[in-house]
Amino acid sequence: MIMHELREMQEGLSSRFRRWRAMLARTTPGPLLVRGAVWAAGIVAMLLAYPMVLMLHWYGLILIGLAILPALAPRSLIVTPVLVIISAGWVISPSMYGEPVTLWRLVALAGSLYLVHTAAALAAQLPYDAIVSAVVLLRWFARAGLVLAGTAILAVYLLVIGAVLQGRSILVATLVGFATAIGVTFLLARQLRRAD
């Protein structure tokens, strides 16, 4: 009885291994490139969120290993916990390790988190054997780059305005955020009316 169960387990593992080998043989460069972008952005985010002292320790290998999970399983629920782990690293680094909070690291971390998220969303929609035009990938990542550039410029601009206004920056930021939310809602409502 035990031998029969062990044989079934072995057959199950060997069939899964054959399936993975067949998937790897049929994988095309487009989906592989997108998944590589997910992994690269995850590694950059981990390096920005956690201090180098920790990353050079064996904990760093675990964190780098976690960064590959969204690339391996972009359709799963693993993407969100990895993003939360990266964000937790950013939050605990200044208090536990004395890492300085700098604007460039914050902007770079936010950008890399966005790239992990958006590239994982694209990878989730692409079958591993899809033939994808380079133009499609360039448009996707150009759009992501425009979002990142616009967000970085707006963030730096609001920080400069906050420094100039000194005490009233929270009020100005709230009003600008509220006006932006209303503007985006208005534009989306117009687009929905046009689509009908």
Give the Cα separation of 34 and 40 in Å (integer).
Answer: 10
Whether 31 has a pLDDT exceeding 70, the answer reads yes
Q: How far, in Å, are 25, 79, 139, 158 from residue 65 at the CA level? A: 23, 13, 29, 36
Write out the H or E segment, with its range, that includes residue 77.
Answer: none
Query: What one-letter code names the amino acid at 155?
Result: A
pLDDT above 80 for 29:
no
Distance in angstroms (rounded) separating the CA atoms of residues 112 and 101: 16
State the pLDDT at residue 25: 65
The answer to whether residues 95 and 45 touch, using CB atoms and an 8 Å cutoff, is: no
Distance in angstroms (rounded) separating the CA atoms of residues 7 and 163? 69
What single DSSP character describes residue 100? -
Q: Are 160 and 170 in contact (CB under 8 A)?
A: no
Q: Tell me the mean pLDDT in the region 158-163.
A: 68
85, 145 Cβ separation under 8 angstroms: no
Tell me what pLDDT residue 167 has. 58
Higher pLDDT, 168 or 135: 135
Extract the tokens encoding 34.
């997108």
Does pLDDT of 32 surpass 70? yes
Range of lowest pLDDT (20-29, 31-40, 53-62, 116-125)? 20-29
Predicted local confidence at residue 26, as pLDDT: 65
- What does the pLDDT average to over 69-78? 88
Percentage above 90 pLDDT, the chain:
11
| Average pLDDT for 72-94 | 88
The torsion region of residue 147 among left (phi > 0), alpha (psi -120 to 50) and beta comes to alpha
The answer to whether the pTM exceeds 0.85 is no
Average pLDDT, the chain: 80
Look at the block and give the residue holding tokens 């605990």: 92
Q: How confident is the model at residue 195 (pLDDT cuts 50, 70, 90)?
A: low
Taking residue 175's Cβ as centre, other Cβ atoms within 10 Å add up to: 11
Given a cut of 90, whether residue 64 has pLDDT beyond it is no
Confidence (pLDDT) at 20: 67
pLDDT exceeds 80 at position 98:
no
With 90 as the cut, is the pLDDT of residue 6 above it? no
Contact 19, 104 (CB under 8 A): no
